[in-house]
Amino acid sequence: MKLRSYLLYCPFLGCLLSLQAQQAPSTNARTILAIAPSEPPSDSFFVAKEKEVWEALKNRDKGAISRLLADDFVGLYDTGFATKSDHVKDMDDKYEITSYDVQDAKVIRLSPQTVLLLYKANCKASGEWDQFCSRPEYISSLWVERAGQWLALFSQDTMETDGEKAELSAKALAKEREILETLKHNDWEAFSDLLADDALAIDEDGIVGKKELIDGIKAAGTIFSDYKMEKVKVIPQGNGAFVAYRETLVGTQQGKPFTWHFYTHSHWERRGGKWLMTMFQDSMARE
């Protein structure tokens, strides 16, 4: 409607106020437009919050656990449901958590104020809590933001089964065979890729790191041609497994043929979705 026609059909003062209201946003609207949405916390923030809970348990810090858990917190464990007050009382038990780690963390954002953290936990403990750390656990932890503070509202633990251990054992054994294949083909790039950067090798000559090991094999003019594994045993442990066996290596060194026999064991660990050998130890077998 044109302004002239509008004035004809509307009392002057009321219409003027109406026009002003249409032309300018309200104070509340301006305020809302001026507020920029806050940046949501990163995934690492929630991993750090979960570690704060572990630290509170480790230190038996009732004040810290009270600050981190919502008043209506609920935990679901193999012993049943637990409340915030139950967790505080649990710190009166005789126990000691000596170590823990949070692995393979995944964050699911259910809303700007609700986040679900999923991860695998390994811990070591003594006393009344030893049973809780006897196997790795899969944990889901629900965090909510209330009045600008992130609080744990729900947690559920599921202890790893023997099926998971069987999977770890099978994977570690497969990786052991894979690294022996790289030796057989003298593929040092592939061999290096299967070793953790902090890997250690132990034999009668001492303890060496990854680079020293590979450089030493090359410097000695060692060329492998075959291998054999006997009396193999696999022991799952934490997020990996130990592989122990009697090893035979065949090849040449400085052009001279050799057949070496060792009793050996190695440790494989899953790190960030990749399996890596962290150490191995050889002992010369007596014929």
pLDDT at 112: 94
Give the burial string for 174-212 (b: 16+ CB within 10 Å, else e). Answer: ebbeebbebbeeeeeeebeebbbeebbbeeeeeebebee
The pLDDT of residue 17 is 39
The tally of CA atoms less than 13 A away on the side-chain side of residue 243 is 27
Distance CA 30, CA 22 (A): 14
What pLDDT was estimated at residue 128? 81
pLDDT of residue 140: 96
Q: Mind giving me the DSSP string for the chain?
A: --HHHHHHTS-HHHHHHHHHHHHS--HHHHHHHHPPPPPPPPHHHHHHHHHHHHHHHHHT-HHHHHHHEEEEEEEEETTEEEEHHHHHHHTTSSEEEEEEEEEEEEEEEEETTEEEEEEEEEEEEEETTGGGGSS-EEEEEEEEEETTEEEEEEEEEEEPPHHHHHHHHHHHHHHHHHHHHHHHTT-HHHHHHTEEEEEEEEETTEEEEHHHHHHHHHHTTEEEEEEEEEEEEEEEETTEEEEEEEEEEEEEETTEEEEEEEEEEEEEEEETTEEEEEEEEEEEPP-
C-alpha triplet 128, 87, 56: angle, nearest 5°: 85
b/e code 76-104 from CB counts within 10 Å (16+ = b): eeeeeebebeebeebeeeebebeebebee
The Cα 257–Cα 15 span in angstroms is: 106
What is the model's pLDDT at position 78? 78
pLDDT (0 to 100) of residue 38: 61
- CA nearest to 69, candidates 142, 128, 152: 152
Question: Tokens representing 1?
Answer: 């409607």
| The token pair that represents 104 in the structure block | 């393979």
So what's the pLDDT on residue 111? 94
For the chain, 287 residues long, give each residue's pLDDT as a single digit of tens. 333 333 333 444 444 334 344 444 444 444 444 444 467 899 999 999 999 999 999 999 999 999 999 999 999 987 789 999 998 998 898 889 999 999 999 999 999 999 999 999 989 998 888 878 877 899 999 999 999 999 999 999 988 777 778 888 999 999 999 999 999 999 999 999 999 999 999 988 899 999 999 999 999 999 999 999 999 999 988 889 999 999 999 999 999 999 999 999 999 999 888 999 999 999 998 76
pTM of the model: 0.50
Domains of the chain: 43-160 (3.10.450.50), 163-284 (3.10.450.50)
**Residue type for position 149:** Q
**What is the rounded CA–CA span in Å between residue 57 and residue 132?**
12
Which two tokens mark 81? 């449901």
